[in-house]
């Protein structure tokens, strides 16, 4: 498959994926990826862009970001950061992979990078919030495959019939353990 007929720019499932800090010039591609997933509501796209912009403008201040690139084209991204008023708890704010690049292990690599960076910064717990909607079933299964546990559910959180599902993963024991 050539890059010209693959929106993610991948030449094969074995194509080299590079993880690096994203740039402000990746903003339009972030929008494309968020919209292409088909699971985010239209009102969520500006929030993803706002968090991305902040992470790129001041990396490591409030948010951290990582992009996954096939050739020079962004195929996915993640934004994460420490949770204020906690002791070493971090949130995964956004992760999205272009549907054309899914199945290449990009999501797994992005999560591994986030976890490694969080541990390097002294983090001990990562929290991921997601939806209970049917179209998020693969997302929930993805987190479970990576060792995340569903720790809480808040019914009707996002919308009627759409609960918030909170996944957590301990990255290292707390000082009290």
The domain segmentation of the chain, as residue ranges, is: 3-124
Average pLDDT over residues 106-124: 97
For residue 114, what pLDDT band results from cuts at 50, 70 and 90? Answer: very high
DSSP label of 72: T
Q: State whether residue 13 is helix, strand or coil.
A: coil
* Fold of the 3-124 domain: Aminopeptidase (3.40.630)
Nearest to 80 by CA among 41, 37, 110: 110
Rounded mean pLDDT of 152-176? 90
The two structure tokens encoding residue 176:
């009290």
DSSP letter (8 states) at residue 98: -
| 33 three-state secondary structure | helix
Tell me, what's the pLDDT at 120? 94
Q: Give the lowest-confidence range in 6-10, 16-20, 56-60, 131-135.
A: 6-10
108: enclosing H helix or E strand = helix 106-120
């Amino acid at each position: 498959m050539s890059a010209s007929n693959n929106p993610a720019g991948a030449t094969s499932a074995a194509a080299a994926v590079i993880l690096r800090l994203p740039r402000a010039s990746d903003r339009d591609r972030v929008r494309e990826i968020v919209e292409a997933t088909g699971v985010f509501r239209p009102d969520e796209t500006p929030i993803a862009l706002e968090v991305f912009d902040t992470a790129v403008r001041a990396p490591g201040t409030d948010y951290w970001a990582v992009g996954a690139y096939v050739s020079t084209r962004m195929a996915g991204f993640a934004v994460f950061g420490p949770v204020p008023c906690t002791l070493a708890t971090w949130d995964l704010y956004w992760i999205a992979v272009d549907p054309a690049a899914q199945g290449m292990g990009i999501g797994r690599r992005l999560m591994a990078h986030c976890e490694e960076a969080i541990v390097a910064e002294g983090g001990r717990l990562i929290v991921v919030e997601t939806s209970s909607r049917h179209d998020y079933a693969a997302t929930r299964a993805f987190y479970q495959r990576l060792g995340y546990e569903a720790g809480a559910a808040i019914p009707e959180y996002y919308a009627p019939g759409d609960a918030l599902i909170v996944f957590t993963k301990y990255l290292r024991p707390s000082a009290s353990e």
